[in-house]
């Protein structure tokens, strides 16, 4: 069994009118089953309101399923006694960099998780140091978080989760509020977690450039998994992605447009180099 597994997961919430009367139910996640293996890099795509964030919050036991089951490292998330173990094993990074930093000094914030877990003082310092080094923020350890850029704040948040020694990290649109530079910093840090530390990563985003390195991609739409596959398989279905309110990297789009004009190119081109090489190779052949 994988490190994260969901079976027929359904999450419904109650809509209420102004007087608090029940108006109806909204199904945010609808019969989702997935199985993530340890060490995988998973990306979940979807437009705003597709249910991807709701799904993510189940992995950290912040939300409990209305129906179905979620297991993290073999533990059922709806069982009260597992909650803290699950939260330690599946760390979570949220969207807004300002609203998840608790400490007034970078190093104190990174130490917050281990403090809560009751880690001895000396070990907290070791964990803080290695986590900050892993995201390249060690030299900022004495800084106030208020003085950092968005990308730096998110890296501090990642370090804060890393210091809890999790087996997997769920990142819920960590780059949505950042500029391109900050986005690059965060994506690089996330890739390093997966490559170097071997931590299972679940990255939720709507930026397509960020999922190129994922092992598997799930695309969500109205609470269901609408597409599943490798980045290449996903990107080869340009029209379907556009239907799901997502866009594709400009290079993939250009390749697709050229294909439509009769140019022979492989499906699901992901990088600039790939496209240039494919066009050059095609040219040689003739």
Interacting positions 24-63 with another protein (CB under 8 A)? 47-49, 60, 62
Interface with another protein by CB under 8 A: which range of 68-76, 93-101, 187-195, 229-237?
Answer: 93-101
Distance CA 41, CA 210 (A): 12
Interface with another protein by CB under 8 A: which range of 19-27, 68-76, 90-98, 224-232?
Answer: 90-98
Q: Is 278 in the site for another protein (CB under 8 A)?
A: no
Nearest distance in Å: CB 156, another protein = 12
Q: Is 75 in the site for another protein (CB under 8 A)?
A: no
- What is the side-by-side order of every strand in the sheet holding 41-45? 90-93, 168-172, 200-205, 41-45, 216-221, 224-229
Q: How far is CA 93 from the centre of its chain?
A: 8
Those residues with Cβ within 8 angstroms of residue 247's Cβ, 6 or more apart along the chain or in another chain: 208, 241, 253
- Under a CB-based contact definition with an 8 Å cutoff, are residues 44 and 6 in contact? no
Q: Is 117 in the site for another protein (CB under 8 A)?
A: yes
Q: Which two tokens stand for residue 184?
A: 């690059």
In the list 51, 174, 249, 268, the residue contacting another protein (rule: CB under 8 A) is 249
Q: Which of 182, 263, 264, 218 is nearest to 40 (CA)?
A: 218
Q: Is 206 in the site for another protein (CB under 8 A)?
A: yes
Q: Which of 149, 157, 218, 201 is nearest to 178 (CA)?
A: 149
In the list 26, 33, 116, 230, the residue contacting another protein (rule: CB under 8 A) is 116
Q: Is 115 in the site for another protein (CB under 8 A)?
A: yes
Nearest distance in Å: CB 49, another protein = 7
Distance CA 174, CA 157 (A): 10
The SS3 of residue 221 is strand
- Under a CB-based contact definition with an 8 Å cutoff, are residues 111 and 103 in contact? yes
In the list 14, 118, 196, 239, the residue contacting another protein (rule: CB under 8 A) is 118
Q: Is 275 in the site for another protein (CB under 8 A)?
A: yes
Interface with another protein by CB under 8 A: which range of 28-36, 71-79, 108-116, 228-236?
Answer: 108-116
Interaction with another protein in 175-204: which residues (CB under 8 A)? 176-177, 179-182
In the list 14, 20, 24, 121, the residue contacting another protein (rule: CB under 8 A) is 121
Nearest distance in Å: CB 59, another protein = 10
The SS3 of residue 270 is coil
């Amino acid at each position: 069994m994988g490190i994260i597994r969901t079976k027929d997961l359904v999450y419904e919430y109650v809509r209420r009118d102004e007087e608090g009367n029940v108006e109806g139910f909204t199904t945010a996640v609808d019969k989702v089953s997935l199985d993530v293996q340890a060490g995988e890099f998973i990306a979940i795509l979807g437009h705003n309101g597709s249910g991807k964030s709701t799904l993510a919050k189940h992995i950290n036991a912040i939300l409990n399923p209305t129906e179905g089951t979620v297991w993290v490292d073999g533990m059922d998330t709806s069982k009260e006694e597992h909650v803290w173990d699950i939260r330690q094993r599946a760390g979570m990074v949220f969207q807004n960099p300002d609203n998840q930093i608790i400490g007034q000094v970078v190093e104190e914030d990174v130490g917050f998780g281990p403090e809560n877990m009751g880690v001895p003082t000396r070990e907290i310092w070791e964990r803080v140091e290695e986590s900050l080094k892993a995201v390249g923020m060690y030299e900022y350890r004495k800084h106030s978080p208020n003085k950092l850029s968005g990308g730096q704040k998110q890296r501090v948040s990642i370090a804060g989760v890393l210091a809890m020694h999790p087996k997997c990290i769920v990142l819920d649109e960590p780059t949505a509020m950042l500029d391109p530079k900050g986005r690059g910093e965060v994506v690089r840090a996330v890739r390093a977690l997966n490559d170097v530390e071997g931590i299972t990563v679940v990255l939720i985003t709507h930026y397509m450039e960020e999922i190129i390195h994922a092992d598997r991609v799930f695309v969500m739409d109205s609470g269901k998994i609408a597409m599943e596959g490798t980045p290449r398989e996903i990107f080869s279905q340009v029209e379907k992605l556009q239907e799901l309110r997502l866009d594709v990297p400009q290079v993939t789009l250009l390749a697709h447009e050229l294909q439509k004009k009769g140019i022979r190119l492989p499906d699901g081109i992901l990088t600039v180099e790939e496209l240039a090489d494919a066009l050059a190779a095609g040219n040689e052949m003739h």
